[in-house]
Amino acid sequence: MNYQARTALAALVTLLLVSAAVATPTAAARYSEHQDPELTTSIGGSNVLVPGETTTLRIGIQNRGTAVTNAEGEVSELASAFRTAGVTPGAAMATTASFESGSAPVTLRSGEQSVGTISPEGQGTAPLELEVDENATPGTYRIPIVLDYQYVRAVSVDGDETFVTRRDATHRTHVTVRIDPAVRLGIESVSGENLHAKEDGRVVVTVRNDGTETATDAELLMEESDQLTPRTNGLSLGTLAPGETATAAFRVGVAETESTDTYAVPFRLRYEDGNGVVRESQARTGRVTVADAPTFDLSATTTDLYVDSTGAVTLSVTNTGDRPVTNARALLAPVEPFSPLSTSASLGTLAPGETATAKFKLEVADRAIAQDYPLEFTVAYEDAYRETVESDPLTVPVTVGPEMTVDTSGSPTVAAGSTETVTVTVTNTGAGTMTDAVARINANTPFETDDDTAYVGDLAPGESTRVTFTVSVDGAATPKAYSVDTTVKYDNSFGRTVVTDVEPTAVEVTEKRGGLLASILQFLGL
């Protein structure tokens, strides 16, 4: 149909509509016409991508369409109707954006994005997250975009009634991105050295630049994990030209593990590209093997460990692990009723299966009870960095014997007013040997003595010996049996002096001898 024909047809339609309006008693109708929404897309900011990196692009969506107008090109008369209907003629409503990778060497991380309503001459934004393939070829690529929306095709008003015609539409467009020649740093190898539970070891990482651009001020970052804690988070790699490698070694602390296992280690790479832009890669992951901590078996023997005494515990430590431990020491934790005279003893270097002994001197409190007690030990050793590491606490039972005792026997008899020799039998009733023992009596009224001590010597358990004391008895003493306190002082096997109370000795005082005859007999020693 030519232009003249279309013009004539339009005039005829207009005439018919006007005639219908005049002939109809209802209010005249107004018909609106408009241009469909015209959507275009662009990238806010740089469109340059880097191989191996994840980037978020801000996709701007513009509506270049025009608003709805009536036949006279005016919209004001329809404004109220638009508000009543709750529509925005000329707008792209309920707009969504979805993305396709097309031929671009990227992986899309964004799904469908809701943009909402884009008014005429307005703009919306949709984020596009994508990861560029590490081996992406530099060049220019299109990212296809699909825009789905609704729009108002027409609005008519007839009296108090408003009629809205909506339509669904899909618009396909694209944005252009550029992938530049770039640095491409990757993890070539990861290995562990001396990685044992509860110790410090090393993680050695080799980095390679497989890109086409030199990386300057490159840095390798190690992230903390549940098993490994880097003592230094970042290590410098310097400048890496294309094809070059660099190695970094992290000192790491290893957490306690139940058994030997392999764990993931996350890394990041930070560098400056040829444009002076500082970039950071996504996480790179390596794997290392962590071995269990050394294990030990403990046993103990005791020497002269008695209540209210000083004794010793000899600890045997066996390395039951699968590797040597160096500069090992046994550590004793103080616990009642013991007071350690030493809490640390050297074990030296222990190869797997090797045993070493350590001796600890202990004082046992006088309030202790003769029974078994748990002693808690740990084994300390050095890791690869000569830092001290301690094993888990290990408990060893030890037996405390009853307090050392001494008995005296005999029935010495002395006369009032006389000076006589008293003989006492001393018996070691304890479980240990007494060395260089000395007995002492406490000569209280009515007794006096210038020599209250007697040498006993060495007494094995159950062994006895006789000792004598010279005592004088007050002449006015009442004839009866008196209790005389006795103590025995001796050295134990550790050279510690121990004083032991003894049951009192009964000394019988008889009547004073009278007259000249008694004096003569006494003088003669009869």
**Residue 77 backbone phi and psi in degrees, to 5:** -70, -20
Residue carrying the six token digits 């699968």: 322
* Separation CA 73–CA 59 (nearest Å): 33
DSSP secondary structure letter of residue 90: T
Residues 78 and 159 in one domain: yes
Question: Where does a domain end: 153, 179, 205?
Answer: 179
According to the model, what pLDDT value does residue 15 have? 34
Residues 156 and 200 in one domain: no
Residues 279 and 305 in one domain: no
Q: CATH number of the domain that 98 lies in?
A: 2.60.40.10
* Separation CA 182–CA 172 (nearest Å): 31
* Separation CA 50–CA 6 (nearest Å): 56
Residues 411 and 352 in one domain: no
According to the model, what pLDDT value does residue 70 have? 56
Strand partners, 142: 176
Residues 3 and 75 in one domain: no
Residues 173 and 194 in one domain: no
Residues 506 and 382 in one domain: no
CA-angle at 461, arms to 469 and 499, nearest 5° = 55
Among 448, 446, 460, 452, smallest CA distance to 487 is for: 452
Q: Which region holds residue 285: left if phi is over 0, alpha if psi is between -120 and 50, else beta?
A: beta
According to the model, what pLDDT value does residue 75 have? 57
Q: What is the pLDDT of residues 445-457, one digit of tens each?
A: 898 888 888 999 9
Strand partners, 319: 296
The low-confidence residues of the chain, meaning pLDDT below 50, are 1-31, 515-521, 523-524, 526
* Separation CA 324–CA 129 (nearest Å): 52
Residues 410 and 509 in one domain: yes
Residues 129 and 144 in one domain: yes
According to the model, what pLDDT value does residue 504 have? 81
Q: CA separation (Å) from 432 to 12, 114, 239, 501?
A: 135, 91, 75, 16
The set of residues, in sequence order, having a beta carbon less than 8 Å from that of 285 and lying 6+ positions away, is 187, 264, 265, 266, 267
Burial state string for 345-356 with b = 16 or more CB within 10 A and e = fewer than 16 = bebeebeeeeeb
Omega prior to 479 cis, within 30 of 0? no
Q: CA separation (Å) from 69 to 65, 72, 119, 152, 153?
A: 12, 7, 15, 12, 11
According to the model, what pLDDT value does residue 515 have? 43
**Residue 452 backbone phi and psi in degrees, to 5:** -95, 5
Q: Which domain holds residue 15?
A: 1-28
Q: What is the pLDDT of residues 180-220, one digit of tens each?
A: 877 888 899 999 999 998 899 999 999 999 888 899 999 99
Burial state string for 437-470 with b = 16 or more CB within 10 A and e = fewer than 16 = bbbbbebeebbebeebebebeebeeeeebebebe
Question: Where does a domain end: 265, 290, 315?
Answer: 290
The set of residues, in sequence order, having a beta carbon less than 8 Å from that of 185 and lying 6+ positions away, is 52, 207, 208, 209, 210, 211, 215, 218, 240, 269, 271, 281
The structure tokens listed for 327 are: 């500069």
According to the model, what pLDDT value does residue 40 have? 93
According to the model, what pLDDT value does residue 376 have? 94
Overall number of domains in the chain? 5
The structure tokens listed for 405 are: 């005792």
* Separation CA 438–CA 502 (nearest Å): 12
The set of residues, in sequence order, having a beta carbon less than 8 Å from that of 150 and lying 6+ positions away, is 92, 93, 94, 166, 167, 168, 169
- Three-class SS state of 105: coil
Residues 57 and 143 in one domain: yes
Q: What is the pLDDT of residues 475-493, one digit of tens each?
A: 888 899 888 888 888 887 7
Question: Where does a domain end: 352, 372, 399?
Answer: 399
Predicted structure pTM score:
0.55
Residues 39 and 160 in one domain: yes
Residues 362 and 454 in one domain: no
The structure tokens listed for 466 are: 């006789």
The structure tokens listed for 180 are: 């530049």
Instruction: Indicate the length of the chain as a whole number.
Output: 526
